[in-house]
Amino acid sequence: MSLSTVLYSIQQNVLKFGGPIVLSIGTIGCILNLMVFTKNSLRKNPSSIDRTLITSKKVETRQRSTRRLILTSLISLILFYAIVEIHGLLFMEILQYGPNYFVCFYQPGTYTTFMGYHALIVNGFIPPLLMAIFGLWTVKNVRNVQRRLSITHATNREHINIGRPYVIQSKDRQLIRMLLVDIIAFIIFKFPVTIILIYQQITQYNQKSSEQQIIEQSFLQLSYFWYFIDSSISCYTNILVSKTFRTELKNILSNISLFFCRRP
């Protein structure tokens, strides 16, 4: 049995059985995330860039954190990516790489070259860069708040009240862990498909046999499967790194269990 046949068989089975599993795990995770983050204790908590704004020491920057800005940003991002990615509906083709082996893929030529660089910049470079910039910026702001509180307590009292600074330090550590986990998970799950697409651009003018094309496509399809795992595990990484998330989720599941146990 040739390598291409083995890889093709692996790809088919991974997508056939692994796809529904990842979809189920991701759906459950999304439901749990919604249940936790819509709790009154977390619903109004700032996140993402909004957290960066609201933790700034500058009043003008904090005033930018408004509900209107959040809604405007969300709508703008949705429209932006809908427009930027609409080319995928126009330039995809069903290509045959072997007997009974058809793949919906980019049109050969210029569009494939464009998608290689698109994947490198839009999927591989910009997201982790922005995550790192705004995440570290937020951590810096939180630490500045912590230092100001410590100085205030030390100035107004003979001893430092460590209660409030300790809470901030705990959240600071959780924030750093969540940031690192998000960046590491993004790199692990998103970069392989980018690397393969770049490799295909570098070797696009090389003469390739049918077996080599099947091998490359099998690796690419497996990397796409790997790519989407990152979108289904955010709930479980939150459970691992955030004590607050674990506590809220535990309370929710306990209440659900009590509700069903009390039913006649």
Q: CA distances (Å), 44 to each of 33, 67, 253, in order?
A: 15, 10, 21
pLDDT at position 160, please?
A: 43
Mean pLDDT of the chain: 78
pLDDT at position 43, please?
A: 64
Please write the tens of the pLDDT for every residue from 4-29.
788 888 888 998 899 999 999 999 99
Q: What is the mean pLDDT of residues 175-201?
A: 82
Using the predicted structure, report yes or no on whether residue 142 has a pLDDT greater than 80: no
**Radius of gyration of the chain measured on its C-alpha atoms:** 24
Quick one: 168 exposed, middle or buried, by C-beta within 10 A (0-12, 13-18, 19+)? middle
Half-sphere exposure of 184 (CA within 13 A, CB side): 7
Beta bridge partners of 51: none
> Rounded to an integer, what distance in angstroms lies between the CA atom of residue 261 and that of residue 264?
8
More confident residue, 79 or 117: 79
pLDDT at position 18, please?
A: 92
Mutual orientation of helices 243-262 and 234-241 as an angle, nearest 10°? 110
Structure tokens that stand for 22 in this block: 């990842």
> For residue 97, how many other CB atoms are within 10 A of its CB?
20
Helix and strand numbers, DSSP H then E, in the chain: 12, 2
Please write the tens of the pLDDT for every residue from 98-128.
677 777 878 877 887 888 788 778 777 788 7
> Rounded to an integer, what distance in angstroms lies between the CA atom of residue 131 and that of residue 146?
22
pLDDT at position 24, please?
A: 94
pLDDT at position 127, please?
A: 80
Q: What is the mean pLDDT of residues 151-174?
A: 51
Q: State pTM to two decimals.
A: 0.70
Secondary structure of residue 65 in the 3-state scheme: coil
Using the predicted structure, report yes or no on whether residue 239 has a pLDDT greater than 80: yes
Task: At 107, give phi and psi (nearest 5°).
Answer: -60, 130
- Asked if 35 and 239 count as a contact pair (C-beta separation under 8 A), the reply is no
More confident residue, 233 or 137: 233
> Rounded to an integer, what distance in angstroms lies between the CA atom of residue 168 and that of residue 197?
43
Using the predicted structure, report yes or no on whether residue 45 has a pLDDT greater than 70: no
Structure tokens that stand for 59 in this block: 């009043």
Secondary structure of residue 123 in the 3-state scheme: helix
